[in-house]
Each structure stands twice: as C-alpha cells, then as structure tokens.
Amino acid sequence: MSQRVLITAGASGIGWAMAQAFLATGAQVHIFDRDAEAVAAVSGSHRNLQGSVGDVTSEEDVDVLVRDIQEQMGGLDVLISNAGIAGPTAPVEDYDPAAWRSVMEVNLNGSFNVTRAMVPLLKAAGGGSILVMSSLAGRFGYPNRIAYSTSKWGLVGFTKTLSLELGPHGITVNSLHPGAVEGPRMAAVFEGRAALSGHSIEEEKAAALENQAMKSFTDPADIGALAVFLCGPHARTISGQQFSVDGDSKAAQ
C-alpha cells in the first residue's frame, strides 16, 4: 500500500520539493497551502497529488483539512509540518511586537494545530511518521532574527516531546534543520541582511558560504530525499532526532 502524505506549505519551495520526492515513490500526497495561486499552479501535475487552500493558524481550516484527508486518501501515514514564516530582520529593540506574534502564531501554533488534528489519523493507521521543519536557527542563536530563531528552537522541544509521547503508538517524530537553501525565500533573507548591514547581497551570500564547510547552498531536492528516507521502512526506530542539512555550518549567519 502506498503512503498517504500530508505536507503543509507544500505548494512551493522545500515543501514542493518534498512533495515531488514522495510522489516519485508512488505515495499519495496532499498539499495544504495558504497560497491559492501556488496550489493552482501545481494541481493536476500528478495523478496522486491533491491540494487544498487554507491556513495552519485557523482551527476551522484544519478541521476541513482533516475531512479532506479522510475523504480523499482514507487516512494518513506521514505528516510533514512545513509551514512557517521568517519574520523581519531587525535588532531586538526595534522588533515589531506584532511581527513577533505573527511568527509564533504560524511557526509554533500552526504546527500544533495541524499535529493535534492529524495524530488521531496516524494512530488509526497503526503508526506513521511526523517531520517538523525547524531550521539551522533552531540549533544556533540567530542575531537580528529573534522571533524566527525562538520559534525554531521551540519546535525542537515540540519534536522531542511528541517523539516520547507518540513512540508507543509506532509514530516516529524528527525535525529537519536546513541552512541556506536555494530559492526565493533565502534570496529574501539575503536582501534583509544586506539592508541591515550595508553590505551587498553578493557579500552576504559569500559570508554565508564562508560559514559552511561545503561551499554551495542546499538543493531543496536533497531535503526531499532525506524526508522520504526518514518516513520510510528503514527508519522505523529513528525518532526524536535533529537532522541538519546545512553544508556543516558553524553558526546561523
């Protein structure tokens, strides 16, 4: 039987790379994303792909998602909690409290909302896997990114607690910690750093690579491949772990 996979924020970026990786294995994949245009752009691209538009911070949207998953796939084997926002780049004394609350609402509360709703489906399936998208910022402090780093550290505790709680039900729970990943989101981060530091965007990119042992940014497809392995039959006792995909970075810079 093919795996039944839900990926939040799955219509673009790392989420879409993971969706493609699971689809390549024959899995049924449902992507849940608040970007209606992105969902429409990929819908119909694969016979095993379904998608819906909604917000992880909305309990009502998540309730609808549960019904969609049950009706379309008959249950769930894999949850990838990928939805998150970066928030602004600013010193703590200048950080907008509203921006802080927004980052926490999506990154922490959104992960809780979806996980809380989907765990009964995973238990009903007799076990499964949860992957939580943290960050390199969830391993190191991150100057001028106070809300983002705090939320990603919070997801480490979230993951470890779920692993202990759900392990007896045959559910593995691990976190992924990407560093600088190729794509529009990282480009926006470099723009924010350059605006704050007065350096050029290219200088900020060079500084990021200098911070890594591997002198290239991460391909989202590599994260997709790792996700497939961690949710597969050869990783059934790998749980409660943090997996970095960051070129062996020395810090979150």
Catalytic residue numbers, as ranges: 148
Q: Which alpha helices (DSSP H) does 51-200 contain, by range?
A: 59-73, 97-104, 111-124, 146-166, 184-197
Q: Which alpha helices (DSSP H) does 139-232 contain, by range?
A: 146-166, 184-197, 201-210, 220-230
User: Are 85 and 72 within 8 A, CB to CB?
Assistant: no
Backbone angles phi, psi at 23, to 5 degrees: -60, -35
User: Are 77 and 2 within 8 A, CB to CB?
Assistant: no
- What the block records as the tokens of 178 is 């990407």
Instruction: Identify the three-state secondary structure at position 207.
Output: helix
User: Are 121 and 72 within 8 A, CB to CB?
Assistant: no
Residue with tokens 């050869």: 234
Q: How does strand 49-53 pair with strand 78-81?
A: unpaired
Q: How far apart are CA 224 and CA 220, in angstroms?
A: 7
